[in-house]
């Protein structure tokens, strides 16, 4: 098997998936060795990719493994570790996740003699980096970082010797934006926040927009989980971006404006995705000199 080709293929599609997949999550897995590689054990439908299962059932008796599970509405993973069969660990991790979430959990793979690093994007999606070769792990970090102005943040690092259960605050709360399609959008954004699923937040924002639009169609804008929607103006335009905290959002705006050579960028408002509410943001009302 051409390991580098396999990994390269996974990483090359990851950048697309982080934008296009509904759950905004991607698992970019890096093998540490052919027989001990991190493996997903096949198709992961919610996350939209497939990996070879050739070594997914390999294990050594009395060797410690980690098995993981993930849920699209949790910004972390469940990790169970033990010696024995990695297949059993993976299923037990999924069962533990489903017991908390009431279903919807997915196999997060297994690893041994390695550390899995979980990264979050600005919007609250996840990347997974780990493996025997540090250079491959760095590639995943670089891929994640390339999607946004600031570097991705580390959610956690998990080895194959310690169990881990996400804390309650890792459960996602979403904010989503809708606006009237086209240039004549009234300089307004329709924002729904505090929802525990992305679909619910987007639906609520769309309903609010359609109530105001009359016969004009509405479209979806940015969204964020466990973070802030940052709305700003520059000398030439209005816009919005997302980040994990108010401070990082301010830094991201400044960095983005420098990169794009936008002048006089100023914050108009920030909306926390964990704060429930339906809001109408009027760019012109909050226009700054």
Task: Enter the pTM of the model.
Answer: 0.78
30 in Cβ contact with 7 (< 8 Å): yes
pLDDT of residue 215: 87
What CA–CA distance (Å, rounded) separates 255 from 14? 24
* Nearest by Cα to 226 from 151, 150, 164, 175: 175
What CA–CA distance (Å, rounded) separates 195 from 278? 10
pLDDT of residue 259: 94
Identify the burial level of 286 via C-beta atoms within 10 angstroms of its C-beta, where 0-12 means exposed, 13-18 middle and 19 or more buried. middle
What CA–CA distance (Å, rounded) separates 143 from 166? 25
> For residue range 151-179, what is the model confidence (pLDDT) as tens digits?
999 999 999 999 999 999 999 999 999 99
Helix residue ranges per DSSP H, the chain: 3-20, 86-101, 134-145, 198-213, 246-260
50 in Cβ contact with 43 (< 8 Å): yes
What CA–CA distance (Å, rounded) separates 240 from 150? 15
| Mean pLDDT split into 10-residue runs, the chain, 289 residues | 31 28 29 28 27 42 87 97 87 97 94 92 93 81 95 96 96 97 90 98 98 93 98 93 98 96 96 98 83
What CA–CA distance (Å, rounded) separates 161 from 249? 35
How far the first Cα of the chain sits from its last, in Å, is 61
What CA–CA distance (Å, rounded) separates 222 from 240? 8
Can you give the residue ranges of every domain in the chain?
Answer: 3-170, 174-282
Beta bridge partners of 81: 66
pLDDT of residue 28: 34
pLDDT of residue 21: 25
What CA–CA distance (Å, rounded) separates 67 from 86? 6
Residue 169 C-alpha from the chain's centroid: 15
Identify the burial level of 71 via C-beta atoms within 10 angstroms of its C-beta, where 0-12 means exposed, 13-18 middle and 19 or more buried. buried
The residue written with tokens 């690893």 in the block is: 111
The residue written with tokens 């033990």 in the block is: 82
């Amino acid at each position: 098997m051409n390991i580098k080709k396999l990994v390269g293929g996974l990483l090359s599609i990851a950048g697309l998936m982080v934008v296009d997949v509904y759950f905004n999550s991607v698992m970019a897995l890096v093998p540490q060795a052919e027989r001990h590689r991190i493996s997903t054990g096949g198709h992961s439908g919610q996350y939209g990719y497939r990996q070879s299962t050739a070594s997914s059932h390999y294990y050594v008796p009395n060797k410690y493994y980690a098995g993981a599970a993930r849920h699209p509405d949790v910004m972390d993973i469940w990790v169970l570790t033990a010696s024995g069969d990695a297949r059993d660990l993976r299923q037990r991790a999924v069962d533990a996740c489903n017991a908390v979430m009431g279903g919807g959990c997915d196999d997060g793979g297994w690893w041994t003699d390695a550390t899995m690093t979980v990264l979050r994007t600005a919007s609250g999606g996840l990347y997974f980096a780990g493996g025997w070769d540090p250079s491959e792990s760095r590639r995943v970090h670089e891929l994640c970082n390339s999607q946004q102005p600031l570097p991705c943040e580390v959610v956690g690092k998990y080895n194959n010797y310690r169990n881990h259960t996400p804390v309650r605050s890792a459960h996602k709360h979403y904010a989503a934006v809708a606006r009237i399609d086209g240039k004549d959008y009234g300089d307004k954004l329709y924002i729904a926040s505090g929802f525990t699923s992305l679909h619910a937040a987007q639906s609520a924002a769309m309903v609010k927009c359609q109530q105001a639009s009359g016969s004009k169609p509405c479209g979806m804008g940015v969204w964020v989980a466990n973070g802030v929607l940052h709305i700003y103006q520059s000398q030439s335009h209005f816009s919005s971006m997302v980040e994990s905290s108010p401070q990082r959002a301010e830094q991201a705006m400044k960095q983005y404006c420098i990169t794009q050579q936008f002048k006089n960028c100023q914050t108009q408002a920030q909306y926390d995705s964990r704060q429930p509410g339906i809001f109408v943001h009027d760019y012109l009302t909050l226009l700054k000199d």
